[in-house]
Structure 1
Amino acid sequence: MTPVLSIGPTLVACVLAAFVVSFASVRATIAYAHRRGMLDEPGRRRSHSIPTPRGGGIGIVLGALAGMPAGLLLLPVSPGAATVGAFSVATIAIAGIGWLDDHGSLPIKPRLLIQLAATLLLCVAVASSTASLWWALPLLLAGVWCVNLHNFMDGIDGLAAQQAVFFGAASAALAWSAGSPAIAGAGLAMAAASLGFWWFNRSPARIFMGDVGSATLGLMVFALSAMLWAWRTNLLWPALIFSSAFVIDATLTLLVRMLRGARWYTPHREHLYQWFVRRGSSHRRVALGYLAWNVLVCVPVAWIAFRYPAVAPVCFGATYVLGAAVWRTGKRYGLRRRERHVSA
């Protein structure tokens, strides 16, 4: 492996570039969104009370593109030029359709087609470095779901950006510990770009992420997870543990809506984080709750899964079972508070 001293300057440059570009871009986008009328108005299916500009996620995209591909290519143990190129093209494609949607709502079909095509490109590139190209098919399903679940989970101030900072930093620590500075650099660049946006999105938010940010963050989370898996299969388990808060909330909420016969693809406020806000918790307090799950549960369990690969699937299963129980308990708590409020 290249000595740490030679890795350091490149790593620092990628991270700083990601943060500076993101921070400057988000600040400029606030004024741009006001001029173009890109405002999210308050409503029954929204969790904010004043008109707020959207589209700030373009800063995350530009910052990530300034740091992640460079880190993946220039640092040791790179996933390869083909994978990095596919990742860059997919990021631009999904961010582009999201940016257009933030300017004016687009139909679902063209957005989904772009997501499928972009994610498939990345999946084929990743699968080509494994034993079989057929891995691209299950990767495609996981990738498209990851893109959309991050869109679903972007509904209150600071939450999605906070999760992206955590996942980027955690996956970077995982990759570094496993011996891949390239993936570690990409994770830190993603975290830095997300942090540059979070500064403006923390409660009370000055700007929202929009589809350009949330969907693209989902792709980045999937890309880092897939690269870790393709490099060392056992790294998938801790990576999935790091994503558990969002995956559990989005997946269980969608399944419940489908079982009830609801139009699951329409906007709603039935995710756990939305229930907490509806029952009187502040955006900041709810975001801290999700952060507590990440730090107190995900980090130690993922460390065990990394250190002892034989029990990694058990760690993964235990995390998701516990998370599902927490999700169910939280929903019941919200319903009881609603019943007391109505009876009063």
Structure 2
Amino acid sequence: MPWLVMAALLGLALLSAALTWAARVYALRRQLLDQPGERRSHSVATPRGGGIAIVISLLVAAAVAACVWPDAAVSLAVASLGLALVAGIGWWDDHRPLPAMRRLLVHFLAAALLAGLVKMHGGSWLLSLLVLFFTASLINIWNFMDGINGIASSQAVIVALGFAMVLPWPYSLVAIVLGLACLGFLPFNFPQARIFMGDVGSGALGYAVAVVLAVAAVHTDINWILLLLPLSAFLVDAGFTLLARMLSGQRWMEPHTQHVYQRAVQAGASHPQVTGMYFVLGLFSITVFNICTNLQPRWEAAVAVAWFAALTLLWLLLRNGLRHR
């Protein structure tokens, strides 16, 4: 990798860190604070909105990439517009809470933009529909899972690392840039949280992860089910918790503390311990992912199904065990 590219990538991480510091100053000045409560996992009022640093860093990287690769400018602009839409509605919600349906409409609009890009770049209608579904889902999953210090950004780093190793150059830069933007934010949020990501960051981060997933779906031959492995820790915890809430008649969009990671904190584990456990699980998932990417498609799918079945069993065991503590 040329030294100029390495320097630019280091600069991106530093930019993210500087913007996070600035976001904290802004949040303190505006009294933009998350207060402790029954449905929260922190005990002191903490500034929020630091995820805007990740968003701006990604938009700057996209602008630079458009200058370096003019043929990709339109695609980068469309993806950036989707990111800005999700971040914008999240920023608004951080300052003045919005109805859930209004947020979801914006999320689906952004997801439709990304699905359209997939179709434009040769993806099938089925793949485009899958991208639409998973993009809208990931925006909300990252929001649901952003409940303890460092968990949302560290899992995005795991996803970025997993895909950076399988994507061809220069598409791997999409994953690398995401990981570095998160690394710039992470020291302000882990192990002690000096600022939270906020909806502006968590939703946008889910969208950015979806962009990396979509790029991998279009530019690799990896079975789409196997492509979900780097995201599996969040998909299983968020997906099955959501399903359990729906089946029990609860309002799934309301804040709650029923995810396994939240129950672990309630049971006495510290934020760093739980985030660390999810990080280790993520490392296992991307290891399995990278080992299996050269298998025949049917075996890639079989491995993925087996992995998700194992994680589902683990989720059930942990959920039931933590319920009785």
TM-score class, shorter: over 0.9
Alignment-derived partner of residue 157 in structure 1: 149
TM-score, normalisation: structure 2 = 0.94
Aligned to 2:21: 27
Distance 1:14 1:68, change over 3 A: farther
Select between 190-199 and 308-317 the one with higher mean Cα deviation: 308-317
Shift of residue 336 of structure 1? 2.3
Once residues 131 and 221 of structure 1 are traced to their aligned partners in structure 2, the CA distance between those partners, rounded to angstroms, is 18
In 1, the alpha carbon distance for the partners of 2:286 and 2:131 equals 24
CA 1:117–1:51: 2 relative to 1, 3 Å: same
Please point out which of 264, 285, 309 is paired with 1:298: 285
Matched residue, 2:53: 59
Write out aligned runs for 1:1-344 (5 A): 7-9=1-3, 11-68=5-62, 70-71=64-65, 74=68, 80-130=72-122, 132-133=124-125, 135-175=127-167, 180-234=168-222, 236-295=224-283, 297-310=284-297, 311-337=299-325
Give me the whole-angstrom Cα distance separating, in 2, the residues matched to 1:186 and 1:94: 18
Query: Letter of the aligned partner of 1:98 in structure 2?
Result: G
Per-residue deviation, residues 231-273 of structure 1 (Å, max 9, x unmatched): 2241634431000000110000000000111111111000010
Q: Secondary structure at the match of 2:44?
A: coil
Tell me, which stretches of 5 or more residues in structure 1 are unaligned?
Answer: 1-6, 338-344
Would the alpha carbon gap of residues 215 and 10 (structure 1) be closer, same or farther in structure 2, given more than 3 Å must change?
Answer: farther
In 2: Cα distance, 1:92 partner to 1:293 partner: 30
CA distance in 1, matches of 2:26, 2:17: 14
Taking every aligned residue pair, what percent have the same amino acid on both sides? 35
Name the aligned partner's letter for residue 281 of structure 1. A
Q: What is the letter of the counterpart of residue 88 of structure 1?
A: S
The alpha-carbon deviation at position 32 of structure 1 amounts to: 0.7
**Cα distance change of structure 1 residues 235 and 137 upon mapping to structure 2, 3 Å threshold:** closer
Worse overlay, 235-244 or 90-99:
235-244
Q: 1:341: which partner in 2? A: none
SS of the aligned residue for 2:40 comes to: coil
- RMSD between aligned residues: 1.9
| Equivalent pair of 2:115/2:128 in contact (CA under 8 Å) | yes
> Distance between the aligned counterparts of 1:302 and 1:136, measured in 2?
22
Does the 8 Å contact 2:94/2:198 carry over to 1? Answer: yes
1:160/1:194 CA distance change after superposition, 3 Å: same
Contact 1:99–1:212 (Cα < 8 Å) also in 2: yes
| TM-score where L is the length of structure 1 | 0.89
Aligned counterparts of 1:226 and 1:309: Cα–Cα separation in 2:
20
- Structure 1 runs, 4 residues or longer, greater than 4 Å off: none
